[in-house]
Homo-oligomer: A and B are copies of this chain.
Amino acid sequence: MQLILASASPARLATLTNAGINPIVRVSNVDEETIEANMGSSTPSEIAQALAQAKCEKVTQELADSNELTPNTIVIGCDSVFELNGKPYGKPENAAQAKSRWQEMMNATGILHTGHYITFTNEHGEQNTAEATASTQVHLGELTEDEMDAYVKSGEPLAVAGGFTLDGLGGAFVQGVTGDPSNVVGISLPTVRKLLTELGITWTNLWNQAR
């Protein structure tokens, strides 16, 4: 079995690795901004799902073009969008925006949507797909002015959708979640397990597989 993660996110890779799964990373270089710009009235969860599908399909096509789409190949694409007050939030553009976002987010609840899209090329070379969006409520804590300034200064908020992490420095500022925490990090483990089961693949058979 060949397992490909179509994402450059180190947090997604670490989430899979910690759960016993060692994928090969293939970055899709999909033009996310253009796709998003063409989805004018879509919801944040629809945007996440469309981008996950675009990443997965692009990497699957590239593998096919280079004759690497061998039988028993799984390709997983993911994309995450943070929703606050009904609006989608990507990475903050600069430190000032990161701080003003936190002033809006603190003591509030947002929703982290992650789209998941999987292609599976089976032993006969036939391709099947499975997809699901998972959504987790994130309850942000209260930060003092000093804590907010220190967090923005760390640079972390500028690198991530929504301007916070659960698995990094931001973890101490998240009061709690309602839903799957791995989904907040960027790839929902129970969701991927369910999608693979739909495709006839047993999750635990992927453990300890050499690449």
Q: What residues make up the interface of A, taking CB atoms closer than 8 Å to B?
A: 15, 18-20, 136, 141, 144, 146-147, 150-151, 154, 166-169, 171-182, 189-190, 192-193, 202-205, 207
Contact B154 A207 (CB under 8 A): yes
Contact B147 A171 (CB under 8 A): no
Contact A171 B204 (CB under 8 A): no
Contact B178 A190 (CB under 8 A): no
The 4 closest A-B pairs by CB, nearest first: A150-B204, A181-B181, A172-B189, A176-B180
Minimal beta-carbon separation of A48 from chain B (angstroms): 18
Partner of A171, one of B18, B144, B172, B175: B18
Q: Residue of B at shortest CB range from A184? A: B181
